[in-house]
Amino acid sequence: MASESASNQSNSGHGKQQTGYACMTIGSLVHSSKLSSSHGFTVSDKGGMNTWIVDYGATDHTTHSSQMFNTYTLCPSNRKVAVANGSLTTIAGVGDIHISPSFCLKNVLHVPRLFTNLVSIQKLTQDMNCSVTFYPSYFFENSKEQKNSLALTVRMPEIQLGAHTVRTHGVQLLRLHMHNWLILALIAVIEGVLNIIEPFHRFVGEDMMTDLKYPLKDNTIPFWAIPFVAVLLPLIIINIYYFIRRDVYDLHHATLGLLYSVLVTGVITDAIKDCVGRPRPDFFWRCFPDGKGVFDNVTKNVLCTGNKLVVKEGHKSFPSGHTSWSFAGLGFLALYMSGKVRAFDRKGHAAKLCIVFLPYLVAALVGVSLVDDYWHHWEDVFGGAIIGTVVATFFYLQFFPPPYDSDGWGPYAYFQVLADSQNGRQATNNNASCLTIQSLELESVYVESGHRRQLSRTNTHDASPVEE
């Protein structure tokens, strides 16, 4: 049996005023042509059978009219429903009612003797897997007391929200973040300049060559593979997630954060390289490819006879650029994926941690290979790993909540769009402007002493909602 509160209503179709707005007349729901989202609505109150009442205590949706059903099934004559005064009344049937072309109430009870229509908050939240927020957003011009009515917002679960694609919102998002992309391009230019300029040539005496005579070898992991591992691989995974979820905010911010992580790491690494000028472990063979050392008679400093570009590269040992790039790109990817799979949801799914550790393991192996190839000292690799990890973490947290956060699966901009849509207004900040409202917004009609007040269109936007 279903238990209905505030169910005995007058033939006018309006609910009785109750403490805490337990029962509110919200008017008929009409789909608004101004709202293109799948859950955008407004309300026009015309009275009569199309008036719906929001009820906190009702366990089921009910209607007194059989004409509203889109699907309808007769109920056994012995099935009854309890009303507010405790009496039982017969349920004639049950079915679905499409209040608008894109919003449907499921399993609505047809109870002819109630003479009203009830929207059960309990039923609504269960069926739609959503939360319902009440906003005191409207007041009435002809009411001397200026009492507030309620606006109702239904927040859909994450899988049904934020379906903004590159086609629909990509251009707007790029325009909003144009300054970020321009600065990113400038950082790329700076990185190029740092690779061109000559590094500091620190003093290297003959007695120091003992630790710098390791064999000159090619890299086990070639230079071209580092951008693929640190940039292209994360971008591929980010794009795969976009095609699954179709969230342009996640795609844009993850891409922007990744590129910033890698390029800023590159600038920091190469700036330190050029200033420190530490020789590589194979510096002797770079400087003297014939194996015959030449030193200044006065200063005892090396007088390199090898190829200038090879010698120049020999002064760029600390910190390791390959390692810092790898930890920047793969570290960002590890944080990104841990948020998506909710690796830190405290449910004991230890296997999820493999997704976090795997990118770091690959980055660590890149660093180890550089030590094995005698291109770097272990301190160079350790320093590069620290730089890449720290920079990646900072830029990830600029766009995403921490992976252990309950909202760690999505970017900040996504949740800002949801917050703005719940308030029933177009977002105006940098991360969420020019977006379609995605909420179920209901204007309401306040009923006092059995007669109806006129609804004012003045919106007060109260910032203190009550959420169910």
CB 453 within 8 A of CB 446: yes
CB 138 within 8 A of CB 444: yes
Q: Are residues 267 and 346 in the same domain?
A: yes
Q: Specify if 12 maps to a domain.
A: no
Q: Are residues 285 and 398 in the same domain?
A: yes
CA 345/CA 304 separation, integer angstroms:
57
Q: Are residues 29 and 126 in the same domain?
A: yes
pTM here is 0.58
Q: Specify if 249 maps to a domain.
A: yes
Listed residue (392, 405, 276) closest to 323, CA to CA: 392
Q: Specify if 13 maps to a domain.
A: no
Query: Does the annotation count 376 as an active-site position?
Result: yes
Burial tier of 343 (Cβ tally within 10 Å: 0-12, 13-18, 19+): buried
CA 392/CA 327 separation, integer angstroms:
8
Q: Are residues 142 and 182 in the same domain?
A: no
Q: Specify if 261 maps to a domain.
A: yes
Q: Are residues 353 and 284 in the same domain?
A: yes
Query: Does the annotation count 322 as an active-site position?
Result: yes
Give residue-wise pLDDT tens across range 95-143.
888 765 556 788 888 888 777 778 887 777 776 665 555 444 333 333 3
pLDDT of residue 102: 52
Q: Are residues 219 and 266 in the same domain?
A: yes
Name residue, tokens 């190469």: 270
Q: Given 315, 322, 349, 461, which residue is catalytic?
A: 322
CA 313/CA 341 separation, integer angstroms:
41
Q: Are residues 178 and 37 in the same domain?
A: no
Q: Are residues 101 and 228 in the same domain?
A: no
Give residue-wise pLDDT tens across range 201-228.
999 988 888 889 899 988 899 888 999 9
Q: Is 247 helix (H, G, I), strand (E, B) or coil?
A: coil
Q: Given 253, 376, 451, 461, which residue is catalytic?
A: 376
Q: Are residues 71 and 125 in the same domain?
A: yes
Q: What burial letters (b/e) apply to 360-373, b meaning 16+ CB within 10 Å?
A: bebbbebbebbbeb
Q: Are residues 356 and 312 in the same domain?
A: yes
CA 218/CA 458 separation, integer angstroms:
73
Q: Are residues 247 and 378 in the same domain?
A: yes
**Domains identified in the chain, total number:** 2
- Structure token pair of residue 449: 């002493």
- Structure token pair of residue 38: 């799948």
Q: Specify if 247 maps to a domain.
A: yes
CB 377 within 8 A of CB 276: no
Domain boundary among 413, 430, 449: 413
Listed residue (134, 118, 115) closest to 20, CA to CA: 134
- Residue type present at position 94: V
CA 254/CA 173 separation, integer angstroms:
13
Which domain does 346 fall in, by range?
166-413
Q: Are residues 450 and 391 in the same domain?
A: no
- Residue type present at position 440: L
CA 324/CA 2 separation, integer angstroms:
63
Q: What Rg do the C-alpha atoms of the chain give, in angstroms?
A: 33
C-alpha triplet 446, 449, 452: angle, nearest 5°: 40
The CA distances from residue 222 to 218, 230, 267, 311, 373, in Å, are 8, 13, 21, 19, 11
Ranges of residues in the chain with a pLDDT under 50 are 1-48, 134-162, 425-468
Contacts of 381 (CB under 8 A, 6+ apart): 319, 320, 323, 367, 368, 370, 371
Q: What burial letters (b/e) apply to 219-229, b meaning 16+ CB within 10 Å?
A: eebeeeebeeb
